[in-house]
Structure 1
Amino acid sequence: MSAESDLYTILSGHAALTALVSTRIYPDAMPEGTAYPVVVFTRAGTEPIGTIHGTTHGEFASMRVECWGKTRTSADAVAAAVNAALVAAKEVPTGRAGGFDPEAGLFATTIDVTLLAL
């Protein structure tokens, strides 16, 4: 399995998160005309796990989960549910940041997490 499919499984299987976003959990980009709030996740980086024999045995995948909403409160509520989903899956979020897209008029809260993919 990939880190992306693992992360999607973690997020889409968490009742508190799906109560807020329903099925609006997307890899890489949200479709045009999407309702809000919404979750978009991307791979921010990859660190292969090397062996002493020069082969790889999996990877650490740095993932970024963006929680978008029409208000700061909405984006933060979704981010709190994402955080809870990750913790329930025994994954430890490594960072959190806020943002605003003035062109779209949307607020974002971003959660970073590193997943082990074997």
Structure 2
Amino acid sequence: MELEEALTSYLLAYPGFTALIGDKLYPDELPQGIKLPAVIYSKVSDVKEHTLVGQNRLERPMLQFSVFASTKTAARAIANQLKIALCDFQGIMFGLEIQYIRLENEISSLERSSDSSIKVYTEILEFEINYVKE
């Protein structure tokens, strides 16, 4: 199983997270017309470990989760559930050996439509995920 698949399965099985967004967790971009709240994830970088004999099986990708909600309170609640689910996780996640998940960065923002009639609150969380690639 690939890392993104394992993370998606893990998060969609996490009750505190799904209680707030249902199954609205998507790779890379929100589907057209999706009702908020929702979360997207994307790989920001993928650091490879090397030794004198080649690439190590340890991978350290940085994944960014972007939470979108119609209120700041809702966006923060979802971001907090992501932190509870992922921060300091160690163990087997749907077949992948996760050595450590570390929260690296948090960003909050507010986006408005041109006429200010629509507001979208965003919480962005960046996690470094250390895992052993099969």
- Cα RMSD of the aligned pairs, angstroms, is 1.7
Residues 29-50 of structure 1, C-alpha deviations (whole Å, 9 max, x = no match)? 1101111111110100011121
Residues 32-81 of structure 1, C-alpha deviations (whole Å, 9 max, x = no match)? 11111111101000111212113342421100011110011111111011
Say how many residue pairs are matched: 118
Stretches of structure 2 that go unaligned for 5 or more consecutive residues are 91-100
Among 99, 111, 117, the alignment partner of 2:125 is 111
Stretches of structure 1 that go unaligned for 5 or more consecutive residues are none
In the TM superposition, residue 100 of structure 1 has moved relative to its aligned partner by: 1.7
In the TM superposition, residue 101 of structure 1 has moved relative to its aligned partner by: 1.9
Larger-Rg structure: 2
Residue 6 of structure 2 aligns with which residue? 6
TM-score by length of 2: 0.79
Query: Hey, what's the Cα distance between the residues in 1 that align with 2:2 and 2:52?
Result: 23
Confirm or deny: 8 A CA contact 2:88 2:102 kept in the other structure: no
In the TM superposition, residue 95 of structure 1 has moved relative to its aligned partner by: 1.5
In the TM superposition, residue 88 of structure 1 has moved relative to its aligned partner by: 7.2
In the TM superposition, residue 86 of structure 1 has moved relative to its aligned partner by: 0.6
Query: Hey, what's the Cα distance between the residues in 1 that align with 2:71 and 2:24?
Result: 17
TM-score by length of 1: 0.89
Greater share of strand: 2
Alignment of 1:102 onto 2:112: yes
More displaced, 103-112 or 43-52? 103-112
The percent of aligned pairs where both chains have the same amino acid is 20
Query: Hey, what's the Cα distance between the residues in 2 that align with 1:2 and 1:33?
Result: 28
Greater share of helix: 1
Confirm or deny: 8 A CA contact 1:51 1:57 kept in the other structure: no
What stretches of structure 1 move > 6 A for 4+ residues in a row? Answer: none
Query: Hey, what's the Cα distance between the residues in 1 that align with 2:48 and 2:2?
Result: 13
